[in-house]
Amino acid sequence: MIFHRRLVAKGTRAALVCAVLAVPVHASDLPLEPLATVQDLMRYAVDANADPLWDAVGSVTTRDGVVERRPRSDAEWDAVRRHAILLLEATNLLVIPGRKISADAFPSDGPGVLGSAEIQRHIDRNRVQFNAFALELRAVVVRELQAIDQHDANALQSLGESMDAACEACHVANWYPHEAIPDLPTTPPPPKGRFKAHIPQDG
């Protein structure tokens, strides 16, 4: 009976494969369908996989002094590699046309920062430029992957800066093009509360 059912299943699968193969799909009309939003991709595919690449290398100051953080075992390098692969492929997802910015509209976050509708309009009008930014990020992650495969922590660390620049370039162009960053105060603010400086008096 089990044998019979397997045969039926096999037959059904074969029929399905034939049916699928019968419909020619040309590279130009591959059924790519953007299902997640840009915001989803940023949170769960881009940021979630970029952070572990930045965090994998660097120096942290602890009570015992400065500790150089870097993957050491093959398993640790492999864990970092997994994030590089996922981030690399996320750049392909970014260039699939027709992706919505967010499920729910969001307002501007402050002066010079665009809300979701404006971001959407901006990207729709400048699609080629948006894709170029995604490809710029991809080029950096390709090099990060090479550094990971060579277990080269120093290269991975300096490429972290290039990755930061690639993220920022797209954000400045599409998200906060005229963000007003307040000037840093030129004089320190007056001391207040319990942190008032104690100035010893003479005599």
Helix (H) or strand (E) holding 66: strand 65-69
Q: Does 171 bind ligand HEC (CB under 6 A)?
A: yes
Provide the pairing of β-strand 65-69 with 58-62. antiparallel
Q: Does 134 bind ligand HEC (CB under 6 A)?
A: yes
Near ligand HEC by CB under 6 A: residue from 52, 152, 167, 179: 167
Near ligand HEC by CB under 6 A: residue from 77, 83, 159, 174: 174
Site stretch for ligand HEC (CB under 6 A), options 6-14, 15-23, 37-45, 78-86: 37-45
User: Rounded CA gap, 61 and 74, in Å?
Assistant: 25
Which residue's entry shows tokens 């769960």?
44
Query: CA–CA distance from 201 to each of 109, 190, 198 (Å)?
Result: 48, 19, 9
Q: Does 77 bind ligand HEC (CB under 6 A)?
A: no
Rounded to a whole number of angstroms, the CA Rg of the chain reads: 25
User: Rounded CA gap, 192 and 49, in Å?
Assistant: 42
Q: Does 80 bind ligand HEC (CB under 6 A)?
A: no
Instruction: Identify the bridge partners of residue 66 per DSSP, sorted by sequence position.
Output: 61
Near ligand HEC by CB under 6 A: residue from 46, 93, 156, 159: 46
Identify which of residues 76 and 168 has a Cβ nearer to ligand HEC in the complex: 168
In whole angstroms, the minimum distance from the beta carbon of 147 to ligand HEC comes to 15
Residues that bind ligand HEC (CB under 6 A): 38-39, 42-43, 46-47, 50, 94, 101, 119, 130, 133-134, 137, 163, 166-167, 170-171, 174-175
